[in-house]
Amino acid sequence: MNSKFYEFWGNFFTTVAQGQKQLEDMTAWMKQGFTGAGDLNELFRRCYGLTPSTADGTQDSQRWLSAVSDFQQSLAQLAAQWGWVSQTEHQKVLDKCSALETQVQRQQETIKKLRDMLDPECNGHSELFQHLQGALREQGDQFHALMQSIHDAYEDESKK
């Protein structure tokens, strides 16, 4: 991280001692793409060696963008070192957690239904076995009919 970044934060935290408003201003300033909040812009310009290039206060855009990029890179490094998580990453985790909770709830409902089917008092298992018996009986009958038709066809051939 560069020394300008540390200088900015040192000056910022010195002024934060004056009240909570500076933290709120900092958050708004960063979310607005480093615009607005005149005091923060002035502090940023001073720490990064940027001065207004014209009377109307516009910055040399290339130097400004470079300074913003350096600041954001240094902030990302600091955040990683301190274990901070961005709001975007945090929201992704919350969304994933919510989706998994929904999935778990559906699976628990399915498990409950299956357990209820196997519960002896609900006769779910006996219905399942009756259905299975009926299917096996039907397959057996069909197999027997197939074998009978093969036998009949063989007898017809042997009589000829």
Same domain, residue pair 80 and 7: yes
More confident residue, 56 or 155: 155
Q: Is the pTM of this model over 0.75?
A: no
Instruction: Assess whether 43 and 105 both reside in one domain.
Output: no
Q: Do both 79 and 113 map to the same domain?
A: no
Write down which residue in 24, 56, 84 finishes a domain.
84
Q: Is the model's pLDDT at 24 over the cut of 60? A: yes
Question: Is 55 found in the same domain as 100?
Answer: no
Q: What is the pLDDT of residues 96-143, one digit of tens each?
A: 999 999 999 999 999 998 887 777 666 666 777 888 899 999 999 999
pLDDT score at 140 = 94
Mean pLDDT score of the chain: 79
Buried b (16+ CB within 10 A) or exposed e, 78-103: eeeeeeeeeeeeeeeeeeeeeeeeee
Helices (H) and strands (E) in the chain, counts: 6, 0
**Same domain membership, residue 7 and residue 76:** yes
- Residue-wise pLDDT for 63-90, tens only, equals 878 888 888 888 888 888 888 888 888 9
Spatial separation of the C-alpha atoms in residues 52 and 68, rounded to whole Å: 15
17 and 39 both lie in a single domain = yes
Our count of domains for the chain comes to 2
Q: Do residue 48 and residue 97 come from a single domain?
A: no
Domain interval for residue 61:
3-84
